Amino acid sequence: MSPNVKVPVRLPIPLALSFVLFVLLMFSSFVKPYGFFIDEVYFLSCARRPAWGYIDQPPLSLALLAAVQWLFGENTFAVRLLPALSMAATVFVTGLITRRLGGGPFSLLLACLGVMVMPVFLIFGSFYSMNAFEPLIWTGVVYFVVKMVQDNDPRNWLAIGILSGIGLQNKHTFVLYGFALVIGILISGRRRLLFNRWILWGGLAAFVILLPNLIWQVANGFPSLELYRNSFTGKNIEKSPLQILTEQIIFVNPATFPLWFAGVIALIFRKGRDFRLMLYAYLFLMAVMIAGQSSRPDRIASIYTFFMAFGAVAMEHTLKKAWQRGVQVSLIVVMLAGGVLLAPVFAPLLPPDRLKAHIAWLGLKMDIEEGKKGEPIPQWLADRLGWHELAVEVAGVYHALPPAERQHAVIISSNYGHAGALELYGPELGLPAVYATHNAFHTWGPPPDSVKTYIAVAVNIEKVKTMFESVEKAAVVFCPDCTRPQREMPVYILRGPKFSVEKEWKGFRIYG
């Protein structure tokens, strides 16, 4: 773990574990009855409309999704390909960091296995979102940070800046990792790495990569700031510091705790001083989580790849030979067992009935969003159910309209997931245009005032009743294993709007 370590890279172990994780994640895309996740159907709608920015994210991940759509079509296997590859590559880069820190074969196995069985990465890798790419980008940044410290070479800031720019074009909150890194370097006393021209070149590279999205934000009045504010106050559940720490351990896998915590402890002692900046970065991120009372343990998950690597190498270099192998083998067995037990809770590997029994046996309860508390199936799995069935039911309502009315009808929703699902399955079911007031869908509206009939899904019916001459409940879609908002979903026919939709559309927006 000392500077100027020159070691060859041993590829077979990281490659093998990366491949195993990739296969597992791709297998999960075929498990029934799970389909697209609520965010995925919305992201597919975004990807059909290329832009330099969206209300809820920068353009990079959606540009990649557009390429996937063009090459392979819109099916779960194709859409999940890049997330699975990204998680597999994260395991591999963790191996590169471990080897650069001076780890041998068992350290490589421990570190890569620790990352492989992280439940939060199983979530990220089993559906498409910008979150799937953040761990790989950040772990790439960490690799160059380690290289910079070992070689005492600030020229690595250029690579760090390029990766950070990519990270920001993928997800705005990546900036927190950048702040954490700078704060870690300042507190650790390695200021020489900061005050040089190379950090300016790295910062310039990041700025240039992010610039198109910044221009889009300025041109559109910084809509993402409104969304982040609304999400922080209305979506996340407030958690106590103890709950936040506990959920960090669960989402990183309790079986990996001895490994990554060994990395944290090792940084406190003399041999870990060269990389103590990562400890300070971690403490900063935890402080942000606690100060914000965040219910999203995934927000800082990427930081743990470094601690898996550092903990594995610290064990190898610190433990006495007489019992070093016993500890390493025991940890491998424990982590494998923990991975097997928790994988079905975080990736779609078991059907709902068996999953509910498994969760009850484990005694787990995890709530991360307001409005979706106490679900029998975790939200990240339950929100993959019922979308095609919803579209079929809406199609039945639409096709039952008189032909003359059907020609001038559209679909309306206040939720991007419902709108995205109806747009996704619309062509095969003969559905009309879909409009919604939620996030980017709002920017693609409004429907014309010539529309007099709306098929409405996921709307506030009490508000809607006063806005139309006629409101008819035409169907109810039941999904017992869905999250609470989707469990019983009415479908309405709204006729005769009493207002100009085009004039009032701006006031209907929902950013969150």
- Global pTM reads 0.92
Q: Where are the alpha helices (DSSP H) in 171-275?
A: 175-188, 197-219, 223-234, 241-252, 257-268
Tokens for 121? 């990465």
Name the one residue in this structure whose structure tokens are 């999400």: 231
CA 466 from chain center: how many Å?
38
Plot region of 483 (φ>0 → left; ψ -120 to 50 → alpha; else → beta): beta
Q: Which pLDDT band holds residue 390 (cuts at 50, 70, 90)?
A: very high
Q: Which pLDDT band holds residue 2 (cuts at 50, 70, 90)?
A: very low
Tokens for 359? 């969760």
Q: Which of 184-198, 235-249, 334-348 has the lowest mean pLDDT?
A: 235-249
Q: Which pLDDT band holds residue 484 (cuts at 50, 70, 90)?
A: confident
Tally: H helices and E strands in the chain = 25, 5
Residues 57-62: what's their mean pLDDT?
A: 97
Q: Which pLDDT value is given to residue 298?
A: 86
Residues 253-278: what's their mean pLDDT?
A: 94
